[in-house]
Amino acid sequence: MGRILRDIFSFADRPLSERIAFVIFLIIVLAFPWMVKPAYAKVVMIKFLLFAMFGLGWNLIGGYGGQVDLGQAKNVGFGAYATALMMLHWNIPFWLTILPGMMFATAESFAVAYPMFRLRGHYFAIATLCVALVWKELFVFWDWTGGARGVEIPIKATPDFTYMQFGETGYHYFIFGLFMAQFLFMNWFRKSRLGYELMAVRDNEDAAESLGINVTATKVKAYCIAAALGAMGGSFITAYYLYIDPDLVMPMDLSILIAMTVMVGGSGSIWGPIIGAAILIPLDMYLGAWLAGGGRYGIDFMIYSFIIMIIAAREPKGIWGIVERVRKRR
């Protein structure tokens, strides 16, 4: 027990400079609602924390596991829909809906994982894309989930803790709490037995197998855990927007954005998702909004994809890869 606690909170394996940078990051995030006045900046901050969290979940399967999953949006959708439908149809408090959403995402991932992990590389990536698209079409088709119109959560008159309705500052600390929970989980995970097994499988499947690691079981476990982490963020989206539809929580663009965040920041590193989200989300929110105001769509995604192409061609390990190379040279 003590060992697990130490693994969760310890960053002893990281250099001092990184630990200091992380503390500064935490102080900035905690003080943010009191320091920064513009309402839009607060929205950007919440979205940044949300996508940093999505990135953490994706990093588990895509970074530490090396399995390019292009269907994380389906898990976000499961979480969002579980929360929305349970709150709407059965009036269940928000707090009791997070776990069922995560459980459903895990169960679904477990069901599709075995056939899926017969595939490798490109085949696997396209298969995850297909599965996510099938789920999206089913949710559009299905009346009980609101179809293409989506689900709207009734707004409470007063701030309500059981249904998670309050002001922007409340959401800020709420998403920060969820983010920290996942971050600390990932900090434990990367030092856990499963984490090491997963990295061994990523680096050399045959060698891992010869050491007695069950390759498929390891991948399946990682895939299911990543699904659960994604679903948690989905629940937050429902509480935050109070409205969801398949195009908001399950589109392919969301899957791509999640994966890109990690790729840009640096996959397989604990800091990667945070760095990636810190670059891509403000870029999207400020540049994209500014240009869409002038009637121009898509330039934010053009810049994204340009960054992605350069990173793919020059530095597959992302920005964190550059940092580590510079450090090694010194």
d(CA 243, CA 73): 16
d(CA 270, CA 248): 27
302 binds another protein (CB under 8 A): yes
Candidate residues 88, 140, 283, 323; the one interacting with another protein per rule CB under 8 A: 140
Q: How far is the CB of 81 from another protein (least distance, A)?
A: 18
Mask: binding to another protein, 100-119, rule CB under 8 A, as x and -? ---------------xx-xx
**Cα of 315 vs its chain's centroid, Å:** 22
**Cα of 84 vs its chain's centroid, Å:** 19
Tell me 250's DSSP state: S
Interface with another protein in residues 21-60 (CB under 8 A):
none
Q: How far is the CB of 135 from another protein (least distance, A)?
A: 9
d(CA 274, CA 147): 34
| End-to-end CA separation in angstroms for the chain | 39
Candidate residues 314, 328, 329, 330; the one interacting with another protein per rule CB under 8 A: 314
Nearer to another protein, 21 or 138 (CB): 138
Candidate residues 68, 84, 244, 285; the one interacting with another protein per rule CB under 8 A: 68
263 binds another protein (CB under 8 A): yes
Nearer to another protein, 11 or 141 (CB): 141
306 binds another protein (CB under 8 A): yes
Burial of residue 302 (number of CB atoms within 10 Å: 0-12, 13-18, 19+):
exposed
Candidate residues 21, 305, 325, 327; the one interacting with another protein per rule CB under 8 A: 305
d(CA 176, CA 228): 18
Residue 118: helix, strand or coil by DSSP?
Answer: coil
Candidate residues 26, 30, 130, 211; the one interacting with another protein per rule CB under 8 A: 130
260 binds another protein (CB under 8 A): yes
Convert 53-74 into a string of H (helix), E (strand) and C (coil). HHHHHHHHHHHHCCCCCCCHHH
Give residues in contact with another protein (CB under 8 A). Answer: 62, 66, 68, 115-116, 118-119, 121-123, 125-127, 129-131, 133-134, 137-138, 140-141, 252, 256, 259-260, 263, 267, 295-299, 301-302, 304-309, 311-314, 316
